[in-house]
Structure 1
């Protein structure tokens, strides 16, 4: 049974590591009339300079479930200028007294004047941060895509923001 009205969907993506909108994230929209039905791809868009998708297609009138798939791997890989996620992840895990961040002339694991490292390398330093940070190359993003499925009611509007960081994300029903 259809009511002649359809649900509408909007979204935006915020890069919480950089504290700004995530620009250029591909977003695909699909719908289905009930739980057992096949997904119908409806199209997609990319986030704009405000991190918003302003032109997502309208789901059919009989839609019961909507699925948004965010191409976060493209964003994290830096294809859209998202290198801030990688740099911020590395900087966030480096301790304040790591080599290169303070005077470390006498600290263990630092290079002497001849470029020789003495003592054990401090844990949690830049090497560890670099290893753990998502990369634009072979390692890829920790979450290469984020898929969010939710139920809809005809005539209602659903705004579903994605808050993205290098190793986590959050979604909620906005207004």
Structure 2
């Protein structure tokens, strides 16, 4: 991992236009505590390239369960488009905090796909 770069990244592509989904609001949370509650770590939005740099600072990633919540309803409303999913939550587990994790999202008003990227 590059010095100073976030160990967790995301990239959102609007598959209806084939362009990055800029301005998409998102929240990063971690499942914490004995009561297993979601704790918000970061609230942000994608840049014009569909990326969200700086989700976590280097050294901030710990083993555990995380969730990226994307405000898809807000994104599509800004474009005058109806959508089926008001938000998308991608939940994933980190077991080795020394690795880099990339969570891409391919988005349309009626479907989405995600995977562990590189």
Shorter-chain TM band: 0.7 to 0.9
Counterpart Cα distance in 2 of 1:169 and 1:155: 28
Q: Out of 85, 90, 97, which is 1:148 matched to?
A: 90
Counterpart Cα distance in 1 of 2:60 and 2:15: 33
Where does residue 42 of structure 1 map in the other structure? 41
Where does residue 21 of structure 1 map in the other structure? 20
Contact persistence 2:28–2:69 (CA under 8 A)? yes
Counterpart Cα distance in 2 of 1:155 and 1:57: 13
| TM-score, length-scaled by structure 2 | 0.83
Segments of 5+ residues of structure 2 without an aligned counterpart are 1-5
Paired residue secondary structure (2:37): coil
After superposition, where does 1:6-155 map in structure 2 within 5 Å? Answer: 8-33=7-32, 37-58=36-57, 60=60, 62-78=62-78, 82-83=79-80, 86=81, 134=82, 141-153=83-95, 154-155=97-98
Segments of 5+ residues of structure 1 without an aligned counterpart are 1-6, 87-133, 135-140
Moved over 6 A (4+): none
| Count of matched residue pairs | 111
Contact persistence 1:13–1:163 (CA under 8 A)? yes
| TM-score, length-scaled by structure 1 | 0.57
- The Cα of 1:148 is off from its aligned counterpart by 0.5
**Residue 160 (1) aligns with residue 103 (2):** yes
- Across the aligned residues of Structure 1 and Structure 2, the Cα RMSD in angstroms comes to 2.2
Counterpart Cα distance in 2 of 1:166 and 1:144: 9
Structure with bigger gyration radius:
1
Query: Which structure has the highest helix share of the two?
Result: 1
